[in-house]
Amino acid sequence: MHEDGIGLGEVWLVGAGPGDPDLLTRKAERLLRAASVVFYDALVGEGVLALIPDHVRKVPVGKRSGRHSKDQGTIDALLVEAALAGERVVRLKGGDPSMFGRSMEEMAALAEIGVRARICPGVTAASAAAASAGISLSLRGLARRVQFVTAHARAGEPLDLDWAQLADPACTTAFYMGRSAANDISRNLIAHGLDPKTPVLIACDVSLATERCLRTRLDLLPLAVQTVAENKPTLILVGEAVRQNDAAEIAQIAAQAHR
């Protein structure tokens, strides 16, 4: 209870998945139906929003590259205000809330007023993109490791990443928000030893009806992004596991890994 005698609300940070409502978890759908207010991101699919009952108040707080409708401080304040009012709050985030979703900032703001926000995970874009392309992010004998990287940098600042570590030929690397960083990704990975012919998958509007996937290679990535990404949310997968193999090739790779 706070000083007005009103019980503090319940807050869930819910993963909306990549956009396709069929990829929403059953728990996430249940929380949406039980909410009194939903604060949702710009990248949440229309099909997911359509599952929210009409009586639930829906508040857009979306942030997209170059077009921020609400800054993080404002979003934090809105969540705190709703919790203090005793509402059943869902903070609906694209993909998984814990994957580059700034969840901890929102949870910290709520913790200051005594509210412990809980997390309902969602399908992250890298998993959905791999499923759409019919590939595996890991592959025995080729990709022993998977790494997730945000390719978003503040305006005017360089993309400051540990390129030497990222340029691992035995790894699949998923670059989130990678459209504007395609040139940096290609140049720096090659400069740190990754083969220019390393397979790459560019995935836009993952899991939606407008989804586009393009296979290319690392040295051609900047040009390929220009032809397919436009202004769409873009994920870039880099690594040998991304290569389109037929069943016989995959079986051969697995057999070699056992030797």
For residue 219, the number of C-alpha atoms closer than 13 Å in the C-beta half-sphere is 7
The letter for the amino acid at 172 is: T
SS3 79: helix
Contacts of 82 by beta carbon, 8 Å cutoff, 6+ apart:
9, 11, 37, 39, 89
The catalytic position among 20, 41, 76, 205 is 41
Instruction: Report the DSSP beta bridge partners of residue 38.
Output: 58, 90
The β-bridge partners of 15 are 93
> Helix, strand, or coil here: 98?
coil
Which pairing describes strands 37-40 and 57-60: parallel, antiparallel, or unpaired? parallel
In terms of Cβ atoms closer than 10 Å to its own Cβ (0-12, 13-18, 19+), residue 47 is middle
Beta-bridge mates of residue 67: 64
Q: Which of 76, 99, 107, 177 is catalytic?
A: 177
Residue 231 is given by DSSP the state T
For residue 257, give the H/E element and its range. Answer: helix 247-257
Could you identify the residue written with the tokens 């390129």?
163
Question: Is 22 a known active-site residue?
Answer: no
Identify whether 177 is a catalytic site residue: yes
Whether 63 sits among the annotated catalytic residues: the reply is yes
Count of CB atoms situated within 10 Å of the CB of 74: 12
Point out the catalytic residue in the list 27, 58, 63, 232: 63
Question: Which positions are catalytic?
Answer: 41, 63, 177
